[in-house]
Amino acid sequence: MEKFTQHTGIGVPLRRSNVDTDQIIPASYLKRVTRTGFEDGLFAAWRNDPGFVLNREPYAAGSVLVAGPDFGTGSSREHAVWALQNYGFRAVVSPRFADIFRGNSGKAGLVAAQVDEKVVQRLWDLLEAEPGTTVTVDLESRTVRAGEGPDAVEDSFDIDDYTRWRLLEGLDDIGITLSHADDIDAFEAARPSYKPVTLH
């Protein structure tokens, strides 16, 4: 996985709460067997609306999404993370993420930065007043920054220590776990015999 230390890119204000993974990418786009090519499915229904934020310049070239609370609820499809990444997003800022989405983001290298609800409001106002304003997501210092002068936004964001460390180092989770193979062997040796197996 690519290391992530900080990223600066055009901020995209998505004034919606409860953006579920069916909105991020509808099921009909989930039939690909690769991790790429999902950008066409991103927010597919909303992108039919010419007024939708990603259909407007300069937001179309955005790479930091700023959304309302409960982002990524619903389905466990990691395709939602891939669709955001395939489109060009590197980070999503929201007051609250659904658990599975946040986990998937951490695994795939998309930063899910959880901030106070007021920060999202201020970012929305700033990004709408000055389209094209860039947002910096700094994983090292856990801060999100945007704009200059009196309307500038700078605040901390939450991300768990372990995920932050993995993203900063660009580490492969499976590699880390396989280094503990002895522990897994020992655990397996002590499993009760009544546990079911699928092959006989």
* Residues binding another protein (CB under 8 A): 15-18, 20, 22-23, 26-28, 30-35, 45, 68-70, 73-79, 81, 96, 98-100, 103-104, 107-108, 160-162, 173-174, 176-178, 180, 183-184, 187-188, 191-199
CB of 148 to another protein, least distance (A): 28
Residue with Cβ nearer another protein (10 or 159)? 159
Going 23 to 146 to 115 to 158, the CA torsion angle's sign is positive
Q: Are strands 153-156 and 143-146 parallel, antiparallel or unpaired?
A: antiparallel
**What is the full DSSP assignment across the chain?**
----SEEEEEEEEE--S--BHHHHS-GGGTT-SSSS--GGGTTTTGGGSTTSGGGSTTGGG--EEEE-SSBTBS---THHHHHHHHHT--EEEES-B-HHHHHHHHHHT-EEEE--HHHHHHHHHHHHHSTT-EEEEETTTTEEEE--GGG-EEEE-B--HHHHHHHHHT--HHHHHHTTHHHHHHHHHT--TTS--S--
Residue with Cβ nearer another protein (114 or 133)? 114
Residue with Cβ nearer another protein (148 or 185)? 185
CB of 126 to another protein, least distance (A): 19
CB of 28 to another protein, least distance (A): 6
Residue with Cβ nearer another protein (156 or 177)? 177
CB of 173 to another protein, least distance (A): 6
Residue with Cβ nearer another protein (57 or 181)? 181
Write the single-letter amino acid at 71. F
CB of 167 to another protein, least distance (A): 13
